[in-house]
Structures are given as structure tokens and as C-alpha cells.
Amino acid sequence: MSQTIRVALVGQPNVGKSELINAISGASFKVGNFAGVTVEKKEVHVTRGGYEVIITDLPGIYSLNAYAPDEEVTKRFLLQGAYDLIINVIDSNAVSKNLDLTLQLLELDTKVILCFNMIDEVEKSGGSIDNVTLSKALGVPVMLVSAKETRGVDVLVQKILEMHAFGEANHNLVYDRNIEMALERLCALLEKDEALAPHKRFYALRLLENDKDIYRLIHDKRIFLEFYEVLLHEQAKLGILEAEENHAFVMASARSSIIKFLCSIAVKQPSYDALSRKIDTLLIHKLFGLPLFFAIMWLLFQVTFVIGEIPMAWIEEVVGAFADVVKNALPEGVINQAISEGVIPSIGAVIGFLPNIIILFLGINLLEQTGYMARTAYLLDGIFKRFGLHGKSFIPLVTGFGCSIPAYIATKTLKNPKDKLITMLVISFFSCSARLPVYVLFVSAFFEPENAGNLLFAIYVIGAILGLVAARILRGLIFSGQSEPFVMEMPKYRLPSLFALLKELQIRSILFLKRAGLFIGSASLVIWFLSTYPLDEYGVSVPLEQSYIGTIGKAIEPVFEPLGFDWKMSIAAITGLAAKEVAVGTLAALNSVEMEESEPSEGLIAVVRESIDFKAGVAFLILMMVYSPCFAAMGAFFSEVKETKWRLLYLLFPNITAWVLAYSVVHLLAFIGY
């Protein structure tokens, strides 16, 4: 029976952890969520030398001063999780930036292996890293790896076994005399508590930086009052000796000094190659840069619609055939009807749009991995400033085209609180991929196929423009003041790994299908029940408008009636708050109940075209473009923003704006003759 070694894979965002875990596993790993949160969790199981090595890929974290929900998950795992050693993945192209996290991890009193990834890129550019010198200086193993070329991966796995068997949890880190004296006094007090003693130096360091998580840990200890008094004294003393009142800055400066020394003795920086300069002269050109960006995005949306539309008919046929099989296999009755007429058609209606989502995600992921998106942020900084946003806001905003949750998390790169909050408040205007099924459904229903790609592109552009206008309004009325200066490290241009891209697409597809099954399946089951019952005196379903869901729809209809919505569209607008795809599932469920005698081949697109007025359809699109994102995204916002007034603004601003815009467009279309 093999023994188990549990490994925590830790690193800053975009250091190639996913590519490394793919290289280690050979594409065989488990995907799930961390307990109690929606943050994605990947695990690799490797059998080697009689051991089962379980490697957990933790979300990217810049430092142990965690700010975002995914960073909190990583920090909590490092402080409380069950693991035997840490692999700290470092981008070899940005050593000094990554080593700040490394120095904090070394203080955890845990076995650590440093893994410098992308070493092939550094060497090709004329740079080098002396891993032997670094290893001696830090007192831990230092490995040079290229996950893309699978170079050094097997050696890394072997080093895990060696560290588990023979390694020790120590390091050679020594700070300046003032900090070490403060640590000595604090550690002497923490030594008195048996639970705190094994990690006393780590706790002392974190408390010097006012780490709230560690503060809560020691608050109820018997030594707290005595310790707290000494802590305040040492912090005040450090402030005087270092001429800096901010204790966190004192520690950051100390780590910075160590990092500069390490880089001076072991790192030769790669040169910025001539080819990158030539590419940059075009991509970030003052005149051609922006038109080129919009041309690339236009092409992406054309491909999204044209190619994504091809499998829709096949998927519809497969789902229809599957529904028939289930209907014939199950005994007649309520359960049969609920599954074959409620759940399966609704989930199938949304799965049909999965190809569109995959293509859009693939395109955005390609642009990010090549390094193009960072340059677009630089290019748009001047324009964004006119609208009250920061150039770095572009990264979270464009991330919002994929999903609002990581977009909120990505705002941590904005240091100015006002810049961060404005960006978070307008992310909902940048349509996430979950809204794409709604857009494709209504665009296909009301417009000619040859114009569909252009209209899809226009929807995303209009949403983005509305977001910029909203940011300008917020900056002028509520968040006055200047943005922080634009400073951003340009990543190297690199060819994306096809294997990594395909693996990410697989993961996203599986997660989408799980979400479709959970949210849409549950919602459609509820909708089927509410639309089927009550029964009349003969045991037959009453007309749809007299059913439970008809009653609910009629009750909320006055809110949406000025937009031209009937009660079914009103229900879809509300269920879309759970997850935007649910709106499509809701329309499918409601219309399939009403149209039991229709031709079996008639899809939801035809139903929408025949049963919904053009003006109401446009209003529904606008509502979906602007109003609040899904409940999960709202939860991510609330975890980032604690103040009640900003939470209230976040709930009211997009929804009121969405209703007013939809109402205005309906009346404008009526005025011009639609």
C-alpha cells in the first residue's frame, strides 16, 4: 500500500501553474471546488517510488496579505490545510516580482521547493538563473523547469520524494538587525504557548505586518495581553529606527532588499528582443493600435456566431432524441413528464449555445496568453482616463467577457480604492459568456444570419460603451479625484500552449455543463411544476396562465409591462438573476408547455420569433446587457466590498439603469415606426 505525499502548488497569477500541473499529470487530474466556496480546485495524483503524490493547484496569490476571495482560499489552505510540502512556482521572466511571495512562504516552517518555470524563454533571450547559488543562499532546493517543453518535470517530481524523505523545514533568511531583534522578543513570548511555539517566527513576522488572520488566532490565548503590549512597543520602535510608520512597508522594504541581493548574485535578466519591439510598434501604435484591436475583436465575434451556429441543429436533434428515449423508458406519470418535457428540453436549449461560449472563451484566452491584452491596457489608458477609469481596469473589464467573478478578483491589481470600486461597479456592463446564449437566441430570432456576427459584436461594444459612460458618471458624482499613475509590467510575447488551451476549454466546458445541470435543471423542474399545477377537478392541468407560474408572472408583469414583456418574459428576466443561461431555459420550459402540439422540429428560436414582439425582444436584450450579474457574481462582489452603501449602489445602479434604457429604446423604436 502506497504512502501519500500532499503537495501545495503555490504561485502568483500567470506563472504557469496550470501548464505545470498539466505537464506533471499528463492531462489526468480532478477538477472541483474548495469546500464552502466556488473557487476552482485542481488536483493531480501521481504514483512514483511507492508513493501517491497528490498535488493541489492553489489559486494565484500575490502575497500572504490576501485581499481577494481566491487569495483568501489559498492563504487559509496554507495556514490550516493538510499538506507535507510546498512547490512555489516562479515566473523566470519576472524573478524579483515573484520572490516577494517566496520569502513569505519560506517563513511558514514548511518544506519548500522553488520551481522556476519558463526557464526556456529566459535562456532563449540571453538570460540565466543560477539555481545552485540561489539554493545555497536560501537554504531550499531550487529547480529550473519548462512546463511547456516538459523539461525538468520528472526531476521535480523526484525532488518531491527526496524532500519528503530527507528534507527539512528551514531556510537561511535573515532580516536586518532591527527586525531580527523585534522577532526575537516576540518569539520569546509566543514560545510560552505550546500551540503557537512551532510556528512562532512566522506568527511574529505576520503580526509585525498587522495580519488580521493571525491576530484573531492569538487573540484568545492567555499570553495575548502581555504579547500585545510588547507587539505595540516593538512596532513603535521599528517605526522610529526605520523612519517609517507603516509596519507593513517596513517588512516589504526588508524583503525588497533581500530580493535585490539574490537577483544580483544569481539572476541575469533576459534582454528585450528586437522582434518584440517590432511587434509593439504595430500593436501599440498611436494611430493603428486601436483600430487593429477592434478589428481583432470584430473577427472574434464573427467566428463565434458563424462557426458556433453550425453544431446547434445537431445538438438540438441529439437532445430531442434523448428526450424521446427517456420518455419511452420511464413509466408514464408525473416524473416522466417532469424530466422529458421540463428538465431535458430546458437544459438542451442552453447546451446548444455551448459552442459559441467555447469559441469566445478560446479567443479571449489566446489574446491573454500571447501577452496582447496587457498591451491593449496600455493602449487604452488615455481613453479610460477620460471616462474616470484606470488603464489597468481594462484587464478585469475584458475578463468580465468571460465571467464576472474572476473579473472582480482581477481588480486587485488596482491599488487606488476609488479606481477599484468604480471598475467593480461597471463590470456588469461587460457581458459575461453566460449572457451569450440569450444574445444568440434573440439575434437569431430577429435578424438575418449574414448580420448576426456584426450585431453580436455591436451588443458587446454597446455594453462596453455604456460601462464607460457609467464610470464617467460615477467618477463625476461620487468618486471624484485622480486615478493612480499607470505603471504596468509588459509580459513577454509567447506562443500559447495548444495542450493547455484545450485542457482549459475542457475544464470550462465541464464546469458549464455542471452549472447547466444544476441551475437550469433545478429551475426548469420548478418551472415545470409551477406551470403544470394546480390540476382541475378532472385531474387535468389548468391553462398555463391560470397555473401557479402564470399567477406569479401576472403579479410581476406590471414591472416589465412598460418594456413590452408578457408574463413569461417577466419570469425569464427574474430567473436570469440566478444565472443568465436560466433565462433561456425558462423561455424553453414555458413555451414547450404551451406548444405541446407544435411540430417537433420547431426550435426555441422559431418560438421566440413568433411569440415575442421585436421591440420587446430588443428591450429584453438591453435588460440582459446591463442588469445585475448572477447571484454567484454578486456574492463575489460582496466578499470584496464590505460597506453597505456600496453594496446598495451595486444592487440599484445597474438594475435601474437597465430598466430605464430598455424603456427608452422601446419608445424610440415605436417613435420611428417599429
In this predicted model, which residue has the larger pLDDT, 116 or 397?
116
CA distance 674 to 668: 9
Q: What is the mean pLDDT of residues 444-452?
A: 84
Distance CA 22, CA 370 (A): 19
The helix (run of H) or strand (run of E) holding residue 459 is helix 449-477
Q: Does residue 272 carry a pLDDT above 70?
A: no
Helices and strands: H and E segment counts in the chain: 31, 9
User: What is the C-alpha to C-alpha distance for residues 281 and 256, in angstroms, rounded to an integer?
Assistant: 33
Q: What are the grid coordinates assigned to 222, written together? A: 492567555
Higher-pLDDT residue of 309 and 413 is 309
Q: How many CA atoms lie within 13 A of 431 on its CB side?
A: 30
Q: Indicate the SS3 state at residue 86.
A: strand
Q: Among 541-555, 616-630, 648-662, where is mean pLDDT lowest? A: 541-555
Rounded to 5 degrees, φ, ψ at 422 are -60, -45
* CA-based max dimension of the chain: 89
| Strand intervals (E) in 104-181 | 111-117, 128-129, 142-144
pLDDT class for 602, splitting at 50, 70, 90? very low
Return the residue matching grid coordinates 505550546. 194
Query: What gap in Å lies between CA 410 and CA 405, rounded to an integer?
Result: 9
- For position 295, what pLDDT does the model report? 87
- Does 535 score more than 60 pLDDT? yes
**Per-residue confidence band for 469, with pLDDT thresholds at 50, 70 and 90:** very high
User: So what's the pLDDT on residue 409?
Assistant: 66
d(CA 326, CA 343): 11
pLDDT for res 517: 65
Residue 327 CB contacts under 8 Å (≥ 6 apart), including other chains = 336, 340, 341
Q: What is the pLDDT of residues 180-238, one digit of tens each?
A: 898 899 999 888 888 888 888 888 888 888 888 888 888 888 888 888 888 888 888 88
pLDDT > 70: percent of the chain: 87
226-251: average pLDDT: 80
| 636/410 Cα distance (integer angstroms) | 11
CATH topology of domain 177-268: Helix Hairpins (1.10.287)
* φ, ψ dihedrals at 29, nearest 5°: -145, 165
Centroid of chain to Cα 529: 34
Predicted confidence band of residue 413 (pLDDT cuts 50, 70, 90): low
Q: Nearest-CA neighbor of 350 among 325, 326, 319?
A: 319
Q: Would you state the pLDDT for residue 485? A: 52
The reported pLDDT for the residue numbered 601 is 32
Alpha carbon distance 76, 196 (integer Å): 17
Which span out of 324-328, 403-407, 482-486 was modeled with the highest average pLDDT? 324-328
CATH hierarchy code of domain 3-166? 3.40.50.300
Rg of the Cα atoms in the chain? 28
pLDDT value for 415: 64
Enumerate the domain spans of the chain. 3-166, 177-268, 291-479+496-671
Who wins on pLDDT, 562 or 482? 562
- Rounded to the nearest 5 degrees, what angle is found at the Cα of 627, between the Cα atoms of 625 and 631? 115
Which triple of cell numbers denotes residue 31? 477538477
Q: CB of 44 within 8 A of CB of 121?
A: no
- Is the pTM above the cut of 0.85? no
> If you average pLDDT over residues 246-273, what whole number do you get?
81
Q: What is the DSSP letter of 60?
A: P
Q: Which residue has the higher pLDDT, 87 or 17?
A: 87
pLDDT beyond 90 at 133: yes
Rounded-to-integer distance, Cα 433 and Cα 439, Å? 10
Query: Considering the chain, what is the average pLDDT of its residues?
Result: 81
The pLDDT score that the predictor gives to residue 483 is 56
Closest CA to 628 of 581, 574, 667: 574
Is the pLDDT score of 486 beyond 60? no
Higher pLDDT, 8 or 635: 8
Q: Tell me, what's the pLDDT at 310? A: 78
Res 227: pLDDT:
86
Tell me the three cell numbers of residue 359. Answer: 469559441
Task: Please state, in angstroms and rounded to a whole number, the distance separating the CA atoms of residues 119 and 117.
Answer: 5
Asked if pLDDT for residue 519 goes beyond 60, the answer is: yes
What's the pLDDT score for residue 598?
A: 36
Percent of the chain exceeding pLDDT 90 equals 16
pLDDT digits (tens, 9 = 90+) for 305-359: 778 777 876 877 787 788 888 888 888 877 787 787 767 776 776 677 678 778 8
Going from the C-alpha of 352 to that of each of 74, 442, 520, 524, the distances in angstroms are 35, 14, 13, 16
Our measurement of the distance from residue 312's CA atom to the centroid of its chain's CA atoms, rounded to an integer in Å, reads 27
CA 597 to chain centre: 43
Measured between alpha carbons, how far is 556 from 524 in angstroms, rounded to an integer? 19
Q: Please name the amino acid found at residue 13.
A: P
Asked whether 422 and 471 are in contact (CB, 8 A), the reply is yes
Residue 532 has pLDDT above 50, yes or no: yes
Kindly list the strands in the beta sheet with 40-48, ordered across the sheet, starting from the edge strand earlier in the chain.
29-33, 40-48, 51-57, 3-11, 85-91, 111-117, 142-144
Beta bridge partners, 48, equal: 51
pLDDT confidence of residue 593: 37
What nine digits make up the cell of 122? 529566459
